[in-house]
């Protein structure tokens, strides 16, 4: 079977990752243990995750003209993501400042940089959306851009999948164009039942407990997550979402099972996009748990 075609319109950041024994309290200074810079951003993370899971992926977004830009572009290329539509704009690239403690929990501050300037998508940037099986978006770029991309995808019968993170009220026009919402439990609560009810398919991630699905007829599916030794949860949600985009056409249960395995594997490695597993790794873990 040929790979599904996924287009990601979203953010790309350089992650500045500090590991600490525990999270500092407000106003407290503590000593960390390691520091690393790794390519990230929810859009790029999910694009790389989808590509490693087996999809043909194109990315639409922006980097700055700083020293991070070349490494960010190269990270997409190395993952075999089509980066031809990655703009370069003046100013800084996006940056995320991430603290990870010894329990694998994290806190994140995102500075959008060039991501805030992904505006007025061109015909060339929108062209692959019309030909894709799935359009995958998040909310680390302007919501107006996400809405325009989603509207274009919906008009061309592309499945529009939205990970509404960071959570915010969604414009009516965006909700009307979305086929699949992918949320965690906090985002589910923040969006509220009225918004969720207006989207045909809702997938809620449950961390180590797996994920659940609610379909257009009220049909529900819940699957568990394989047991793994987690060291860093930073990239788990993005690995899940990228793998879900690739596997969406398999049906809710199989797609969620595949995505949960991807998310679980991502927690066993440090980093965000670097932690995303390959299709072979995902299938091997699933075989071990059958």
Residue 285, token pair as written in the block = 């873990």
Q: Looking at the predicted structure, is the pLDDT value of residue 3 above 70? A: no
Provide, rounded to the nearest whole percent, the portion of the chain with pLDDT above 70.
Answer: 99
pLDDT attached to residue 201: 97
Residue 10, token pair as written in the block = 């979203």
Among residues 120, 238, 249, 254, the one annotated as catalytic is 238
Domain at 5-12+41-93+115-288: CATH code: 3.40.1190.20
Reference 202, options 256, 239, 166; nearest CA is: 256
Which residue bears the tokens 């694009």? 47
103 is catalytic: no
Domains of the chain, by residue range, sit at: 5-12+41-93+115-288
76-97: average pLDDT: 96
In sequence order, the β-bridge partners of residue 94 are 13
Residue 176 neighbours by CB under 8 Å, 6+ apart: 154, 198
Please tell me whether the peptide bond between 166 and the residue prior to it is cis, using omega within 30 degrees of 0: yes
Output the pTM of the full model: 0.91
CA distances from 55 to 11, 50, 237, 249, 282 (A): 19, 6, 17, 12, 14
Q: Looking at the predicted structure, is the pLDDT value of residue 103 above 90? A: no
Q: Looking at the predicted structure, is the pLDDT value of residue 261 above 50? A: yes
Contact in structure between 13 and 115 (CB atoms under 8 Å): yes
Q: Looking at the predicted structure, is the pLDDT value of residue 270 above 80? A: no
How many whole angstroms separate alpha carbon 240 and alpha carbon 21? 26
Q: Looking at the predicted structure, is the pLDDT value of residue 106 above 90? A: no
Among 41-45, 89-93, 166-170, 196-200, which stretch is predicted with the lowest mean pLDDT? 166-170
């Amino acid at each position: 079977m040929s790979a599904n075609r996924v287009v990601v319109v979203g953010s790309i950041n350089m992650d500045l990752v500090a590991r600490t024994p525990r999270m500092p309290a407000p106003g407290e200074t503590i000593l960390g243990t390691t520091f690393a810079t790794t390519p990230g951003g929810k859009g790029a993370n999910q694009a790389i995750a989808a590509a490693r899971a087996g999809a043909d992926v194109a990315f639409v977004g922006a980097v700055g003209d700083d020293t991070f830009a070349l490494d960010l572009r190269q990270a997409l290329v190395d993952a075999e993501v089509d980066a031809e539509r990655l703009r370069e704009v003046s100013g800084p690239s996006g940056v995320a400042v991430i603290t990870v403690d010894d329990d694998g929990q994290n806190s994140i501050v995102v500075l959008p940089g060039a991501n805030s300037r992904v505006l007025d998508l061109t015909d060339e940037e929108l062209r692959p959306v019309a030909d894709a099986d799935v359009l995958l978006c998040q909310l680390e770029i302007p919501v107006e851009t996400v809405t325009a991309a989603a509207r274009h995808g919906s008009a061309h019968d592309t499945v529009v999948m939205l990970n509404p993170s960071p959570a915010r009220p969604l414009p009516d026009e965006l909700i009307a164009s979305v086929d699949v919402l992918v949320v965690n439990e906090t985002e589910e609560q923040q969006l509220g039942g009225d918004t969720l009810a207006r989207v045909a398919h809702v997938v809620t991630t449950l961390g180590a407990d797996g994920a659940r699905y609610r379909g257009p007829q009220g049909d529900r599916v819940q699957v568990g997550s394989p047991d793994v030794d987690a060291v860093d949860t930073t990239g788990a949600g993005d690995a899940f979402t990228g793998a879900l985009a690739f596997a969406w056409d398999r049906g809710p249960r199989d797609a969620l099972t595949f995505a949960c395995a991807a998310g679980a594997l991502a927690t066993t490695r440090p980093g965000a996009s670097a932690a995303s597993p390959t299709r072979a790794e995902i299938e091997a873990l699933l075989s071990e748990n059958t």
